[in-house]
A = this chain, B = another copy of it.
Amino acid sequence: MPAAPTVTGRVLSLLGAFTADEPELTLTQLSRLTGMPMSTVHRLTGELVAWGALERAKRGPFRIGLRLWEVAALAPRSLGLRERAMPFLEDLVDATRQNVQLAVLDGYEAVYVERLSARGAVGVVSRVGGRLPLHATGVGQVLLAHAPPEVQEQVLSMPLPALTARTIVEPRALRRVLADVRRSGVAVCDGQVELRSLSVAAPVRGSRGDVVAALSIVVPSDEHAAASYVPVVRAAARGISRALGAAPARPADHGGR
């Protein structure tokens, strides 16, 4: 990777080098990943550690620092949203003993800002702070169905990877699904991320009535009663919308647009 042209770009590329797969990186790895000389990496990481954006135990590898997390916790689409949503997510887990997820749209992917799982619930692949493609997930289909037209067209024009044999990879089929999600107010996504699980998702609206997030429940796909989860997911999504200042009822959430 060629080194970023500005110091700001270099600082950001250092931070962006850390991933869930590689949350700890040495000076050498950072130099290789960012294309910057060791001396530059050494100087910049020194400043980042001093401020608390990075942490380092003795002479060990670097990790993201707690101070950066504190500042980042102020992102309105992460913990701000999460704080308002949390009581509803907890009620939903309590009532169903399943997995509950909250995600927002970023670029052409869904970013998971919260996940709660009851003990013994089916395993899920999402991770707080992680991303999944829009076309294959319940929350993704909800977010995509309500995304600006240019985002929809872009996603529909890109290759749609198959996560399982049941993932929708054909643009015309996906277009129909999205229309259906807008009409019904929910997305039911069966075996498209993992064959063993299905999700039921509904939109969360902000104070201007626009869809700001999607809420889903993930249950084993052998549960033939996916439909039985629709009312409770829809009710919880409306509760969160109300807590965010959305108007109480919108026809688009229960048919028609």
Contact = CB atoms under 8 A, between A and B. Distances in A.
A68 B68 contact: yes
User: Which bucket holds chain A's interface residue count?
Assistant: 35 or more
A72 B79 CA distance: 12
A71 B23 CA distance: 9
A47 B129 contact: no
Interface in A126-143: 127-129, 131
Contacts of A116: 86, 90
B66 A75 contact: yes
A79 B129 contact: yes
Contacts of A71: 15-16, 18, 64, 68, 72
Contacts of A77: 55, 66, 69
A76 B20 CA distance: 10
Given A47-B6, A68-B68, A19 B74 contact: yes
Contacts of A78: 66, 69
Nearest to A14: B8
Contacts of A82: 128
Interface string A153-164: 000000000000
A8 B48 contact: yes
A66 B104 contact: yes
A150 interface: no
A233 interface: no
A47 B67 CA distance: 21
A79 B128 contact: yes
Interface of A: 6-9, 11-12, 15-16, 18-20, 23-24, 44, 47-48, 51-53, 55, 63-80, 82-83, 86-87, 90-91, 93-94, 104, 106, 111, 116-119, 127-129, 131
27 contacts: A6-B47, A7-B11, A8-B48, A11-B11, A12-B53, A15-B53, A18-B74, A23-B76, A55-B77, A64-B72, A64-B74, A64-B76, A66-B75, A66-B78, A66-B106, A67-B106, A68-B71, A68-B75, A69-B72, A69-B78, A69-B129, A71-B72, A72-B72, A74-B129, A79-B128, A83-B127, A90-B93
